[in-house]
């Protein structure tokens, strides 16, 4: 478990590196638990002023590792669904991610490649996000089988652009994300490390007490706008999406044709039938 996320401290900065590059740093329950542990460790370290979260390899994170769950129904309960069982599981993951937001020390997400689906939840739980201009961010499961449990899209983008993203499941590149105000900045991929280091160094020169007070004050404004209540609703909805007729249709699709094929259907914008319906045939999958 300790190898799921690397941990290093240099120059008043703690670096948390998601370390499943062969799976594009896909999220498991164990990885979420380890993230919480390391955020707490950095907060307990008097030498640390700022926390940088990054991904090993080609991506920040491609989201939850759902292949097993979708193809074998591990996230879909029997016909009598227990919503609180589902809520407890997903709320724990949300709370693990949100230790980045609740951390008394500032957190920066450094995004290359992809921060999509659950990976976007982790990135948007950080105080500041810097992306490579060609990286992609989005929440594709908004089309079927998911709702972003951290609910940070609306708090960062406002209602209209949050709806633009979550009513389509589209992804946008870093340049667009920065122009829209979803993330702090987008820079050429070759300059991403230097840009994040410069920002982290600037923050690291501020006393811990000052950093904590400024962050608590700003976060309190979001709490006053109902952030916690919105997350409860989003987390409940996330479970419902997997047990709606359309959610069960998607899981059956993945069981018959494999999760990659189901995702290609979803992300291509092909119709997802209201109320479920017959699973596409192999000929339909190939456009025949």
d(CA 204, CA 105): 10
CA–chain centroid gap for 123, Å, is 6
- Please give the DSSP secondary-structure letter assigned to residue 226: T
Radius of gyration (C-alpha) of the chain in whole angstroms:
19
Tens digit of each residue's pLDDT (9 = 90 or more) over 2-29:
599 999 999 999 999 999 999 999 999 9
263-273 average pLDDT score: 92
Contacts of 18 by beta carbon, 8 Å cutoff, 6+ apart:
4, 5, 25, 31, 53, 54, 55, 56, 60, 61, 122
At 81 the pLDDT is 83
Burial (Cβ within 10 Å: 0-12, 13-18, ≥19) of residue 194: exposed
Could you tell me whether strands 50-55 and 128-132 are parallel, antiparallel, or unpaired per DSSP bridges?
Answer: unpaired
Measured CA to CA, the distance from residue 263 to residue 31 in angstroms comes to: 23
Number of alpha helices (DSSP H) and beta strands (DSSP E) in the chain: 14, 9
Does the 5-240 domain belong in CATH 3.90.226.10?
A: yes
Determine the Cα–Cα distance for residues 288 and 276; give it in Å rounded to an integer. 21
189/3 Cα distance (integer angstroms): 26
Residue 182 has pLDDT above 80, yes or no: yes
Tell me what percent of the residues of the chain surpass a pLDDT of 90. 86
pLDDT score recorded for residue 58:
97
Question: 47-106 pLDDT, tens per residue?
Answer: 999 999 999 999 999 999 987 666 655 556 667 788 999 899 999 999 999 999 999 999
Least confident window among 80-89, 178-187, 230-239: 80-89
Lowest mean pLDDT among 156-170, 206-220, 240-254: 240-254
How far out from the chain centre does Cα 98 lie? 10
* Exposure class string for 68-103: b at 16+ Cβ within 10 A, else e: ebbbebebbeeeeeeeeebbeebbebbbbbbbbbeb
Give me the residue spans of the domains in the chain: 5-240, 244-285
- Residue 160 in tokens: 């209209």
């Amino acid at each position: 478990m300790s190898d799921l996320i690397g941990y290093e401290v240099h120059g008043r900065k703690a670096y948390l590196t998601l370390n499943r590059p062969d799976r594009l740093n896909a999220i498991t329950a164990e990885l979420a638990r380890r993230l919480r542990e390391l955020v707490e460790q950095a907060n307990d370290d008097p030498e640390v002023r700022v926390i940088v979260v990054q991904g090993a390899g080609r991506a920040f994170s491609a989201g939850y590792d759902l292949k097993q769950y979708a193809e074998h129904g591990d996230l879909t309960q029997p016909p009598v669904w227990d919503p609180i069982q589902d809520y407890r599981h997903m709320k724990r993951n949300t709370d693990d991610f949100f230790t980045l937001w609740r951390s008394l020390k500032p957190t920066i997400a450094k995004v290359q490649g992809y921060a999509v689906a659950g990976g976007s939840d982790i990135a948007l739980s950080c105080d500041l996000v810097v992306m490579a201009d060609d990286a992609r961010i989005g929440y594709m499961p908004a089309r079927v089988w998911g709702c972003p449990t951290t609910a940070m899209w609306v708090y960062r983008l406002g209602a209209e652009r949050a709806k633009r993203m979550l009513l389509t499941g589209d992804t946008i590149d870093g340049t667009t994300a920065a122009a829209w105000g979803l993330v702090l900045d987008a820079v050429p991929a070759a300059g991403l490390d230097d840009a994040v280091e410069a920002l982290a160094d600037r923050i690291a020169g501020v006393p811990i007490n000052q950093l904590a007070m400024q962050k608590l004050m700003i976060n309190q404004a979001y709490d006053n706008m109902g952030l916690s209540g919105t997350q409860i609703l989003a987390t409940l909805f996330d479970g419902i999406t997997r047990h709606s007729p359309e959610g069960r249709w998607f899981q059956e699709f993945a069981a018959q044709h494999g999760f990659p094929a189901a995702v290609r259907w979803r992300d291509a914008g092909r119709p997802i039938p209201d109320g479920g319906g017959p699973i596409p045939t192999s000929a339909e999958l190939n456009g025949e």
